[in-house]
Structure 1
Amino acid sequence: MKSINERLSEIKVVPVIAISDPAKAVKLAEVLSENGLPCAEVTFRTEHAALAIKNMREAYPDMLIGAGTVLTTEQVDEAIDAGVDFIVSPGFNPTTVKYCQQRKVTIVPGVNSPSLVEQAMEMGLRTLKFFPAEPSGGAAMLKAMTAVYPVKFMPTGGVNPKNVKDYLAIPSVLACGGTWMVPNQLIEDGNWEELAQLVREVASVIS
């Protein structure tokens, strides 16, 4: 079985999703899976994130699914119960990290400075989210950190079609997180064909 890092490095771009209606989750998973991005980071910024994850997992058991914007141990439990493969947090919270380690689920916490990278490494982590990527110095900042630290990164925050290749060209970058191919309004409107087109465009750029 492939590791999460191996699967992320193959997919290259992780759609970061805020979904309000869990009933639309299965169709969204279908659009992503059938158009070249069989992965989703479903953020806990909406009330029904856990149910959306559960619906995706039941319909697409082989899809790589993460829970994003996880801020509490309670949300970790909800995400695990829903069937996630990994947890993502916007910042580095030692309490959340320790709890994920106790629950034996992969966590990719957010960092944007050398000090935070070292704190994460001290806890045994070697895969980190660089967030918010663009406001924190972009690809140039990430290159500077990767020259020093033996860590893999998933930059998220300001990544878009114009700069995604710059990030992916950095050897330590496993994948980028992005929202541009999964706009909230298109999901809410059920505009699946336009979403499919955006996903295909991303898949073609990174292939």
Structure 2
Amino acid sequence: MIHTKQSIIAQLEQLRVLPILVTDDVDQAIRCVTTLAENGLPAVEITLRTPNAMTVLREVIKACPNVVVGAGTVLTSAQLDAVKYAGAAFGISPGITPTLARAAAESGLPYFPGVGGASDLMLALEHGFDVVKLFPSDIVGGIKMAKALGGPFPDVRFCLTGGVTVEATPGLLRQNNILCVGGSWMCPASLINAGDWEAIGTLATQAMIAGRPQLA
């Protein structure tokens, strides 16, 4: 399936919550992503924080064709090329640099740079990125920062990650320029390593409801 920036945004508008998965085990990753999807979260960001992450990304994409699988912690243009080649639906970075922003703009891959304030956001906008990751949300101000940036940048939308909890999610999503929130609280390493898919399913359902309370 070919994903566009607009199709990814539309998916995030519907789900409002994006799980962030950190694991170096292919089988665990596939089982986790399948469990998340079965419990209302059919989109995931797989981070490139582990040595085997690129293999995990490729195998999850192949095994879970009905899940929107993106790659996070993209730090270089070489990584951006690699995740695009692997078939990722989108890329996300924790920050932004002129080199990476330029490469992302030219790549055609749906991409969401990370920002921590107005200067980062201005650089993102220079390269055409008006949907960005606000990170680390809890450190840079979270909803207060989103509100503040909404004044000079009314057309920008944010995905908040970093310190987000299921309890805070409904309140965060009431801010009109927050597109979605992301986090790993519904798929923590402790439960993945224990193979406790039932618990992960419960956490996924809770996160889904927090993002879409009308489905409760």
Mark yes or no: TM-score above 0.5: yes
* Residue from 187, 193, 201 that aligns with 1:182: 187
Does the aligned pair in 1 maintain the 2:166–2:206 contact within 8 Å?
A: no
TM-fit CA distance, 1:6: 0.6
Aligned counterpart, 1:157: 162
* Residue from 156, 159, 178 that aligns with 1:173: 178
**One-letter code aligned to 1:195:** I
Q: Which ranges of structure 1 fall in alignment gaps of 5 or more residues?
A: none
Aligned counterpart, 1:7: 11
* Residue from 134, 137, 160 that aligns with 1:133: 137
Give the alignment of 1:1-207 within 5 angstroms.
Answer: 3-149=7-153, 150-207=155-212
CA distance in 2, matches of 1:196, 1:98: 39
TM-fit CA distance, 1:163: 1.5
**One-letter code aligned to 1:146:** G
- Deviating more after overlay: 31-40 vs 15-24: 15-24
Q: Could you say what secondary structure the match of 1:24 adopts?
A: helix
- Residue deviations 1:23-44, cap 9 Å, x none? 2221112101100001111010
Q: Flag as ranges the 4+ runs of structure 1 deviating above 4 A.
A: none
TM-fit CA distance, 1:200: 1.0
Q: Could you say what secondary structure the match of 2:175 adopts?
A: coil
Does the aligned pair in 1 maintain the 2:143–2:172 contact within 8 Å?
A: yes
CA distance in 1, matches of 2:209, 2:170: 12
**One-letter code aligned to 2:168:** N
TM-fit CA distance, 1:148: 2.1
**One-letter code aligned to 1:197:** T
TM-fit CA distance, 1:179: 1.2
CA distance in 2, matches of 1:40, 1:47: 19
Does the aligned pair in 1 maintain the 2:136–2:163 contact within 8 Å?
A: yes
Aligned identity (percent) is 34
CA distance in 1, matches of 2:105, 2:123: 15
Does the aligned pair in 2 maintain the 1:97–1:107 contact within 8 Å?
A: no
Does the aligned pair in 1 maintain the 2:105–2:128 contact within 8 Å?
A: no
Q: Could you say what secondary structure the match of 1:66 adopts?
A: strand
Q: Which ranges of structure 2 fall in alignment gaps of 5 or more residues?
A: none
CA distance in 2, matches of 1:187, 1:136: 29
Q: Could you say what secondary structure the match of 1:174 adopts?
A: strand
Does the aligned pair in 2 maintain the 1:21–1:188 contact within 8 Å?
A: no
TM-fit CA distance, 1:159: 0.7
TM-fit CA distance, 1:202: 1.1
- Deviating more after overlay: 94-103 vs 117-126: 94-103
**One-letter code aligned to 1:92:** I
